[in-house]
Structure 1
Amino acid sequence: MKKQESEDVELNRSLGLWSALSLVVGTIIGVGIFVRQSAVLDDAGSTTGALLAWLAGGIITLTAGLTIAEIASQMPHTGGLYVYMEKIYGRIWGFLSGWMQIIIYGPAMIASLGAYLSLLLIDFFNIPHIWTVPIALIAVISVGVLNLFSNRYGATFAIITTICKLVPVAALIIFGLFFGNQNALGHSIQTVHQSAGGFGVAILATLFAFDGWILVANLGGEIKNPSKRLPQAIVLGILGVLVIYMLVTYGVFRSLTAEKIHQLGTGAIPYMANKDFGAIGGKILSIGIIISIVGCMNGKIMTFPRIMYAMARDRELPFHKFLAYLNPKTRTPIWCTVTTLAIASIMIIFFDADRLSELCIFTVYCFYVMAFFGPTILRHRHPNVHRDFSIPLYPITPIIAIGGSLFVIVSEIMSDWRGVLISFIFVIVGIPVYYYQLKHNS
């Protein structure tokens, strides 16, 4: 009887537009905007070039979001990219995209956020560094436990953390725009030019700060009216983050000279906070960054297990009956969440999680490119189907998205070909797992 009841349990479709929008914004805005100002400026060579790089990265991300939004409107199901790849290219491609995300990329992203959060907490409270790993584990598990309950709790937490993280961001923008005394445009110094990696490298740095928007698609089965709300959340969320990133960058350039930003490196924004708000400013900003990371981590812990659940539901993973279990009261995939947390915890203890997440960037963008061809394939396959959302300026929009992803792929090959090979190995390992499970099911 209990088995039958568990099989009838479905995910709770309770998330509205604000919850989905908060997850998009909260998952994108982690720590990138706070620490990458100097790196983007150094690569671009001038403040004007850096602003254009942030704008270009945002436009590429927006075209990607618009492209995926059309697919999401037609396939508003739990699993996101895994579902899109399977429906468009076949089961093995869906499996491999999901496999890479649930085994390496997702847990590594969660673990790296936990590790970075631990360092910030240790610095903020002057805790001995011997506590780095335990605090990272406690942080990841605590946020994970929240997501074992109804998805409303995780969504509410996403809304709260998104609002909280926007308060220090708004303060930086306001003080920079209205009290900064520098000319934000045209600043260029020799030291910046000597260390510049070029405008293209600057765009690459911004693209990583914009990443994470697609994860809300994993919750397609839990969003109300997903064929309309999911595209709205993706597009509005990316647009909002683009505006925020541009205003923060402009505010920083209004407050500090290019030479000072280059000299301070990742400490540029903390220095600006101390300068604008006094001694307490740095502490307030640190709290904002801590909340920002916690919110970003919550979004990833809420969304990545949904991929595992979707794959288990489709009987594509070992122990699929166990992993596809939904708690009858909370209607959440508790064992998928626990498994994701377990893998992330192992990475925190034994591996360099940040490096593991970097290794997977190449394969993630390979699947992105394939997905960006999806709307064209679907339009040819089903020319008369009704779409709740259509890509504006088609086919220019997906072409820009594809070009941006190819740029990331080529850059990764040129800068870290060994990492590219390792990322291929992560994917290839999934092939025998897929065929074993296929044979087992048959």
Structure 2
Amino acid sequence: MEKPHKEVELNRSLGLWSALSLVIGTIIGVGIFVRQAAVIDDAGSPTAALLAWLAGGLLTLAAGLTIAELASQIPSTGGLYAYMEEIYNKFWGFLSGWMQIIVYGPAMIAALGSYLAILLGDFFHINPFWNIPIAIGAVCLIGLLNVFPNRYGAAFAIITTICKLVPVAALIIFGLFFGHANALSQSINHVHTTAGGFGIAMLATLFAFDGWILVANLGGEIKNPKKMLPRAISLGIIIVMIAYLLVSFGVLKSIGGEKVHELGTAAIPYIAQKDFGVLGGKILSIGIIISIVGCMNGKIMTFPRIMYAMAKEKQLPFAKQLSYLNEKTRTPIFSIMLTLVIAGIMISFFDADRLSELCIFTIYCFYVMAFVGVFILRKRNPKQKRVFSVPLFPFVPLVAIGGSLFVIISEIMSDPIGVVCSLGIVALGIPVYYFEVMRKK
């Protein structure tokens, strides 16, 4: 007698350390190493810059704690896509997922791949002609790792997170204990004439904190996600916030705000060579390369899960293929491959940085809707027992909503053309959604 076919499911094998490493790994990319001067220039002084990092961290923590409550109630694969579908309807869930899988996710992966190729080229003195092949090759190698069972990608996330924290720790330790500059000095010449203001400085830090929500895409692969996801999101954001503050203070203590302003993006490489010599510069470059690789791994591991979840709901063309899980690895190999193909096209023909920036407006629009969703679910299910409740309700969700509205308004004011393009990208998904819905009827 033939045995009934057992449906292949995602492997629920990721524990707290894996989830925590993915949160930290997908947040800490290259921003903390290159954004120090930009934040100081916009804020107008070292003290204001540190306050901007703190404010950005607190807003991100408020957002993370709010999403953590949703994650504890909707521990499904797809993260934001699943929350939007559950709280509102399939239409809004589809649009949030569409934007992430078609442009936002692949563009972020492509941008990381392109920057990694530049750093590798500088480190090994490779002709810039090879930047695009190196970028595509790096993306494909990390993608290949994630075709294997998720424990390999998770282990890689843990290793790269530990490695990327080494240069972070070095900057903190040498700055705090061996730096002699006045970290909080207000005497920075010529900054105020070009300063964008405290709000713009805080906006820059919010982008440096972006990526914390991606671990929620793995809700179907995390052990006891109702408890683990809130812990990983909240603890990961707190660790990153403290690290960012200490790195910024350490940098200011090492060379002072005036020198940071003068050096711009070269401030941290300058500190590395000053404190450790030429070897220090090389070590820092390796640390940044590992940081980018780890960040890319987290994004390649998480974004295809949104595509898989949408395909499983038959909301995408070729849904059968995109929702396929390999029986041995239990990973959505076709969703991963398509994500890599889109990223490769972006590396070859588009400005991936600009494409990812275009989606900031819409991702924050969906963030606001998700934060409001906490109030909706509490009203809809007043007697439901929650494994995790956002602390200081309703203050914390209101802070998250206010912070996201600040980003949205800032984007509208600073990049209206980009906002229109961003909305256009989302609008392209509407006919796809209705075509798939009508086809199923």
Q: TM-score surpassing 0.5? A: yes
- Residue pair 1:62, 1:238 contacting (<8 A) in 2 also: yes
Corresponding position: 1:418 with 2:417: yes
User: 1:315-334 counterparts in 2 under 5 A?
Assistant: 315-334=314-333
Offset at residue 337 of structure 1 (A)? 0.1
CA-based RMSD of the aligned residues comes to 1.3
Residue 79 of structure 1 aligns to a residue whose secondary structure is: coil
User: 1:386-425 counterparts in 2 under 5 A?
Assistant: 386-425=385-424
In structure 2, distance between residues paired with 1:188 and 1:29? 30
Offset at residue 61 of structure 1 (A)? 0.1
Whichever residue aligns with residue 228 of structure 1, its letter is K
In structure 2, distance between residues paired with 1:298 and 1:247? 25
User: 1:11-50 counterparts in 2 under 5 A?
Assistant: 11-50=10-49
Residue 191 of structure 1 aligns to a residue whose secondary structure is: coil
- Residue pair 2:185, 2:257 contacting (<8 A) in 1 also: no
User: TM-score of the superposition, structure 1-length normalised?
Assistant: 0.99
- Identity of counterpart residues, as a percentage? 72
Match of 1:54 in 2: 53
Corresponding position: 1:277 with 2:304: no
Whichever residue aligns with residue 434 of structure 1, its letter is Y
- Residue pair 1:47, 1:188 contacting (<8 A) in 2 also: no
Match of 2:79 in 1: 80
User: 1:291-370 counterparts in 2 under 5 A?
Assistant: 291-370=290-369
Residue 384 of structure 1 aligns to a residue whose secondary structure is: coil
Offset at residue 332 of structure 1 (A)? 0.3
Offset at residue 160 of structure 1 (A)? 0.1
Alignment deviations for residues 80-115 of structure 1 (CA, whole Å, 9 cap, x no partner): 000000000100000000000000000000000000
Residue correspondences, number: 441
- Residue pair 1:218, 1:304 contacting (<8 A) in 2 also: yes
- Residue pair 1:24, 1:215 contacting (<8 A) in 2 also: yes
Offset at residue 188 of structure 1 (A)? 3.1
Offset at residue 192 of structure 1 (A)? 1.3
User: 1:153-232 counterparts in 2 under 5 A?
Assistant: 153-232=152-231
- Residue pair 2:20, 2:233 contacting (<8 A) in 1 also: yes
Offset at residue 309 of structure 1 (A)? 0.3
Offset at residue 187 of structure 1 (A)? 2.9
Match of 2:248 in 1: 249
- Structure 1: runs of 5+ lacking an equivalent: none
Offset at residue 190 of structure 1 (A)? 2.5
Residue 315 of structure 1 aligns to a residue whose secondary structure is: coil
In structure 1, distance between residues paired with 2:162 and 2:42? 31
Corresponding position: 1:135 with 2:134: yes
In structure 2, distance between residues paired with 1:146 and 1:195? 45
- Residue pair 1:45, 1:188 contacting (<8 A) in 2 also: no
- Residue pair 2:171, 2:251 contacting (<8 A) in 1 also: yes
Whichever residue aligns with residue 21 of structure 2, its letter is S
- Residue pair 1:309, 1:333 contacting (<8 A) in 2 also: yes
Match of 2:427 in 1: 428
User: TM-score of the superposition, structure 2-length normalised?
Assistant: 0.99
In structure 2, distance between residues paired with 1:296 and 1:247? 20
Offset at residue 186 of structure 1 (A)? 3.1
- Residue pair 1:141, 1:341 contacting (<8 A) in 2 also: yes
- Residue pair 1:182, 1:254 contacting (<8 A) in 2 also: yes
In structure 1, distance between residues paired with 2:89 and 2:385? 22
Residue 234 of structure 2 aligns to a residue whose secondary structure is: helix
- Structure 2: runs of 5+ lacking an equivalent: none
User: 1:57-72 counterparts in 2 under 5 A?
Assistant: 57-72=56-71
Offset at residue 420 of structure 1 (A)? 0.4
Alignment deviations for residues 332-356 of structure 1 (CA, whole Å, 9 cap, x no partner): 0000000000000000001111100
